[in-house]
Amino acid sequence: MALSLMINGCEKTLETPKEPVVDASLPRVESIRTLPGSTEVGFEWTPIYSAQIEGYYLYRQSGNSMKKIATIKDRYVSHYVDTELKPNTSYTYQMSTYSADKHESGLSMMANVTTLAPVAKTATLGSIDSVSFINAISDLPARIKIIWRPHSVENVEYYIIERNEYKSTSWDEVGKVKGRLNAEYIDKDIKDNYAYRYRIKVKTSDGVVSKPSDMVEAHSKPLPRGITGVQATSNLPKKIIVTWNASTTSDFAYYKIYRSPTSSLFYSFYGKTVNTEFEDLINDNGKTYYYRVVAVDVDGLESKQEGTISGMTLSALNPPVVSSAKYDGNAIYITWGGDENAVKYTITKEFEMAGKTQKQSFTGIFESNFIDQDTARGTEYKYKIIAIDKYGIASNPSDSVIITIPKEQK
């Protein structure tokens, strides 16, 4: 339904917002856990790492309907804080997941929560402990996730995330998370299949910084195993077929094929398949390309592009080479040699007649010789021979053979 308005003499149509497309096959958020403050509510749920979804929608009840208040654009996130709420007030929430095409799952069960009464802010005296619980989650693709229990002190301003690598004695600050009820940090500035240590410090609004928390350790997910046995054909017409051994990665999803016109140039993405064979159709003879094949897992991680293989379309035959050409007074005889893979030949004939250039073509010649009895005295004939292989690919023409038949002697 649309509403039409007249504005300054122009009609403007306001479209009614579209209803979300609900896809029952998408996984749903099963339950939502809440932690209220006086003006905010923290949420935690079990993350859904399925490649079916992109992220989550959070809804809050407004009147008799649920209104979307947040789009969480990372399926690996499992915490959120709704802020600027009223103290001592009840709220109702639901969540859904959404896919890359913005289809949406069904809604979760309702979560009812009441914010706390206002709490007087007090200065932090002396030192403060860090968070009482911290955990780091391993085997996530190109990221490590750190979660913790929100601090009990109301005037926590933010959390300081520090990281330490093996063979290093120093701790580096890698991020800050603002807000007491925010209890998650995802570190994406990491190496694949690499271990890191983390700890957290707490900073209050009056400038007090805690000692570090306990240390936790996690490692990122390894890349899929590299592909072996890559081969490419060089004897097929107008195409190259690339084959390889099947991936041994447990959560393999598909293969990506990269191609380059030279072995040293940048390899661009060219295609993908779930099979161990890829057919590259090419409208050129004797064309060479270089290929790399990688495995991709369910999280989109790619194996390293190790090794390069070249393939080539079948080259055209070499042009025939004329070995003899003569006129014996009755006919023109031409013989030739050439590529052993030729299965037949085509001959073109060109001559002048009555001031005009005439052309003829003789096809389906299976021997390496030709007799032309259709000749006239006082005429120059030009012949070219083309070899054709079993795939129908024609060679370039031979060098021209020119024979002139003299006029009859009186």
Residue 50 lies in a domain: yes
pLDDT value at position 43? 97
- Give the range of the structural domain holding residue 305, as residue numbers without chain letter: 231-312
Cα–Cα distance for residue pair 55/75, rounded to 1 Å:
4
For the segment 275-301, what is each residue's pLDDT rounded down to a tens digit? 999 999 999 999 999 999 999 999 999
300 and 339 in a single domain? The answer is no
* Residue range 329-343, pLDDT digits in tens: 899 999 999 889 999
Regarding whether 300 and 240 lie in a shared domain, the answer is: yes
For residue 226, being part of any structural domain is answered with no
Same domain, 299 and 326: no
Q: How confident is the model at residue 388 (pLDDT cuts 50, 70, 90)?
A: very high
The mean pLDDT value for 8-15 works out to 41
In this prediction, residue 166 carries a pLDDT of 79
Compute the Cα dihedral for 188, 166, 210, 208 and give only its sign.
negative
Instruction: Indicate whether 128 belongs to any domain.
Output: no
Query: Considering only CA atoms, which of 305, 306, 296, 307 is closest in space to residue 142?
Result: 296
326 & 398 share domain: yes
What does the H/E/C string look like for 157-186? Answer: EEEEEEEEECCCCCCEEEEEEECCCCCEEE
List, in order, residues 6 or more apart from 389 with CB less than 8 Å away: 237, 314, 316, 317, 339, 341, 342, 343
Q: Which among 279, 312, 345 is the end of a domain?
A: 312
Please determine, for residue 126, whether its predicted confidence score (pLDDT) is greater than 50. Answer: yes
How many Å apart are CA 294 and CA 78, to the nearest integer? Answer: 31
As a whole number, mean pLDDT of residues 317-335 equals 94
Q: 3 falls in which pLDDT band (50, 70, 90)?
A: very low
Q: Is residue 235 part of a domain?
A: yes
Whole-angstrom distance, CA of residue 333 vs CA of residue 362: 14
Q: Are residues 326 and 305 in the same domain?
A: no
What's the pTM?
A: 0.73
Tally of CA atoms within 13 A in the half-sphere of 152 that contains its CB: 4
- Structure confidence at residue 123 as a pLDDT band (50, 70, 90): low
* pLDDT of the residue at 306: 77
Last residue of a domain, one of 194, 219, 244: 219
Q: Do 280 and 259 meet the contact criterion of CB atoms below 8 Å apart? A: yes
Same domain, 338 and 291: no
Domain CATH number, residue 93: 2.60.40.10
Residue 82 lies in a domain: yes
> How many CB atoms neighbour CB 224 within 10 A?
24
- Residue 7 is predicted with a pLDDT of 36
Question: Using an 8 Å Cβ cutoff, are 391 and 383 in contact?
Answer: no
In a domain, 12, yes or no: no
Residue where one domain finishes, among candidates 219, 252, 284: 219
Domain assignment present for residue 123? The answer is no
For residues 399 and 325, membership in a common domain is answered with: yes
- For residue 345, give every residue at least 6 positions away whose Cβ sits within 8 Å of its Cβ, in sequence order, or none: 320, 365, 366, 368, 370, 385, 386, 387, 388
Residue 396, pLDDT above cutoff 60: yes
pLDDT (tens digit, 9 = 90+) per residue, 145-160?
Answer: 999 999 999 899 999 9
Is 5's pLDDT higher than 70?
Answer: no
Report, as an integer, the average pLDDT of 352-366.
93
Q: Give the tokens for residue 291.
A: 């290929």
* Dist. CA 196–CA 162, nearest whole Å: 10
Are residue 87 and residue 55 in the same domain, yes or no?
Answer: yes
Region 159-187 average pLDDT:
94
Q: Are residues 208 and 240 in the same domain?
A: no
Cβ partners under 8 Å of residue 249, min gap 6 = 224, 225, 295, 297, 303
Reduced DSSP (H G I as helix, E B as strand, rest coil) percent helix, strand, coil of the chain, to 5 = 0, 50, 50
Residue 361 belongs to a domain: yes
CA distance 105 to 23: 5
The answer on 86 and 143 residing in a single domain is no
Residues 138 and 214 in one domain: yes
Domain match, 296 and 372 both: no
| Residue 120, pLDDT score | 67
Cα(369)–Cα(322) distance, integer angstroms: 9
Instruction: Give the total number of structural domains in the chain.
Output: 4
Task: Quote the pLDDT of residue 116.
Answer: 94
